[in-house]
Amino acid sequence: MLLVMKLPDGDRELVQIVDLALANAARCAGPWLACRPGCTQCCHGAFAINQLDALRLRTGMEALRTENPAIAEAVKKRARAWLTEFGADFPGDPVTGVLGTSDEEQERFEDFANDAPCPALNPMTGLCDVYEWRPMTCRVFGPPVRMNQGDDLGCCELCFVGATDDEIAACEMRVPHELEAGLVAEVSGAAGREESSGDASPRETIVAFALLP
């Protein structure tokens, strides 16, 4: 998966742009946006994250071990427990955490741990313990957004209930897909060179693996 490496400088810019876009979308949406602390529907179910997301999470865990060791240890324990419960069915490499890319593995992933709470979710507070370093999927979920260039506009099913298509479209959150793609390629290429494999192909994992050392 990811070797120990530094986050690219551009990730700070990416996060700032996305967080600003989220704030703007939230202002436009007003009461249409149901997202609130303690609303955790989107914190259940495994989903794929790219190498940039995984590296950001690992960087965050390193910082958390220094700033708040107790929380870092709790997150690690939940991640290990999560993998103990679901790891046997992981459709990929259980050692590296890299998701499989075959049609069969991709099909299995669609039904993998769909109802499992994210190990980063604090069950006592209902908040994410690595919120500052969360993946892009988490940062853009809620308001109307196109997850990939060319996709239709979509939003959380709990948000914009009763809103018209025009009202939803007016609150679209703009995501800098090209900037993210460039950073993912940079991280993927660096990982391939460090492994001396020359393989710079995108590899994905899940949050539970990224939270562990």
- Residue 200 has what pLDDT? 47
Q: What is the domain partition of the chain in residue ranges? A: 10-210
- Residue 5 has what pLDDT? 77
Instruction: Tell me if 8 sits within 8 A of 186, measured CB to CB.
Output: yes
CA atoms 7, 10, 16, 17: torsion sign: negative
- Residue 191 has what pLDDT? 64
- Residue 99 has what pLDDT? 97
Residues of the chain with pLDDT under 50: 1-2, 196, 198, 200
Q: What's the DSSP call for residue 161?
A: T
Which pairs count as long-range contacts for 137-141, CB under 8 Å and 24+ apart, including other chains?
137/47, 137/49, 137/53, 138/42, 139/15, 139/18, 139/19, 139/22, 140/18, 140/22, 140/173, 140/175, 141/42
